[in-house]
Chain A
Amino acid sequence: EAGVAQSPRYKIIEKRQSVAFWCNPISGHATLYWYQQILGQGPKLLIQFQNNGVVDDSQLPKDRFSAERLKGVDSTLKIQPAKLEDSAVYLCASSYPWGYNSPLHFGNGTRLTVT
C-alpha cells in the first residue's frame, strides 16, 4: 500500500510571499488532515476534510491560510502572505472515515522556512 505523498519536502520563502503544499492521500481514505508542527511541539490540526467537505477548520488562520480538496482526493494547502511564525513542518494525514475509528497515516511532511 502506497503511503501518503507530500511535496515539496522543503521550501524556503521570504515573509509576505505565498507558498502551496500538495498532498495525495492513501487510496480509499476519505478523510484528509493538514497538521502544523512547530519545532519542539506536537502536531496541531489545521483542517480536516471528509471527501471534499470541511469537517473542522477551527484552528486554521483563515486570513492567510486556505486549503481545498477538489474531487475528494488530492489536497492543497496555501499560505498567503507568509509570516515568520509560519515556519514549521506541514504534515498531511489520511484515514478511513472517522466513524471507522481508523488510525491516521501521515506523510513525510513539508518543512517550511520563512525568512
Chain B
Amino acid sequence: AQKVTQAQTEISVVEKEDVTLDCVYETRDTTYYLFWYKQPPSGELVFLIRRNSFDEQNEISGRYSWNFQKSTSSFNFTITASQVVDSAVYFCALRRTGGGNKLTFGTGTQLKVEL
C-alpha cells in the first residue's frame, strides 16, 4: 500500500521568511514518482514539480527548492523569502511506475503568509 504523510496541517509565516513543508511517503515499489501541487483559494491544483525515485538531486526553481532523500523517504519543499501569493494548500503526491498515473495524495499543508 502507498501512503503520503504531511504532518504539518497549517503553517503561518511572515512575508520574507523561509518555510519548509514536510512530506514523508511509504511505498514498496523501487520505482516511483513524487509530486508537489499547489492549491490556491481558486481551487485548481497547480503542478509544481515531479521527481522520479532514481533522481535524488535537489532541485531549485526560483524561490522554490526540493530536497529528496530516499534514505528517509522524504521529499520536502522549501520556499525562500515567502510572499503573500504563496498562501495556499500544498499537496505532496506519490505515483507508482506503471500505476496508470494514479496519484496518492497527502492531506495537504495550509500555508499562510502574512504581511
**Contact A109 to B44, CB < 8 A, known contacts A42-B107, A48-B101, A103-B50:** yes
Tell me the complex Cα distance, A3–B45, Å.
Answer: 11
| A88-114 interface (Cβ within 8 A of B) | 89, 91, 93, 95, 98, 101-109, 111
- Bin the interface of chain B by size: 20 to 34
Whether B106 and A42, one on each chain, are in contact in the complex, defined by CB atoms closer than 8 angstroms, is: yes
| B20-50 interface (Cβ within 8 A of A) | 33, 35, 37, 42-47, 50
**Contact A41 to B107, CB < 8 A, known contacts A55-B100, A56-B102, A95-B101:** yes
Whether B47 and A45, one on each chain, are in contact in the complex, defined by CB atoms closer than 8 angstroms, is: no
A-B contact count (CB 8 A): 57
Give 6 nearest A-B pairs by CB, closest first: A42-B105, A98-B101, A106-B45, A103-B47, A109-B43, A108-B44
Q: Which residues of A pack against B, CB within 8 Å?
A: 3, 31, 33, 40-45, 48, 55-56, 89, 91, 93, 95, 98, 101-109, 111
Mind listing 14 A-B residue pairs with CB under 8 Å? A33-B101, A41-B107, A42-B4, A42-B91, A42-B93, A43-B103, A43-B105, A56-B100, A56-B102, A101-B50, A103-B47, A104-B103, A109-B43, A109-B44
